[in-house]
């Protein structure tokens, strides 16, 4: 069974991955907000096809980054939770 120090180190690594995922999702959200930003008099701004392509690429890149970070973090968090459950059972 891993030591508490090892579990804490793993949790910190997963925390970093989850923070990266949150940053990626926030970047995608901000990009989408920019893309649909309203211009004067509440009308949507016209965006060139090239700019639209840049926004789309940025959103996809950010969401892919978030997906990778979550895919890395989630299995490790499950293993840590299972290890903590075992430790709690041993205390009983």
What pLDDT was estimated at residue 52? 82
Q: In this structure, are residues 39 and 56 in contact, taking their beta carbons and an 8 Å threshold? A: no
Neighbour tally for 56: CB within 10 Å: 13
Per-residue pLDDT of the chain (92 residues; tens, 9 = 90+): 667 788 778 888 888 888 888 888 888 888 877 776 655 555 666 778 888 888 888 888 888 888 888 888 888 778 777 777 766 655 65
At a CB cut-off of 8 Å and minimum separation 6, what does 86 contact?
1
Distance CA 30, CA 46 (A): 18
> Model-level pTM?
0.59
Residue 46's φ and ψ, nearest 5 degrees, are -80, 135
């Amino acid at each position: 069974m891993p030591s508490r120090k090892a579990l804490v180190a793993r949790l910190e690594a997963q925390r970093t991955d989850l923070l990266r995922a949150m940053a990626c999702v926030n970047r995608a959200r901000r990009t989408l907000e920019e893309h649909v930003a309203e211009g004067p008099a509440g009308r949507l701004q016209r965006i060139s096809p090239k700019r639209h392509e840049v926004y789309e690429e940025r959103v996809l890149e950010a969401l892919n980054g978030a997906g990778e970070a979550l895919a890395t973090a989630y299995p490790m968090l499950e293993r840590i939770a299972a290890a903590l459950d075992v430790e709690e059972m041993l205390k009983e």
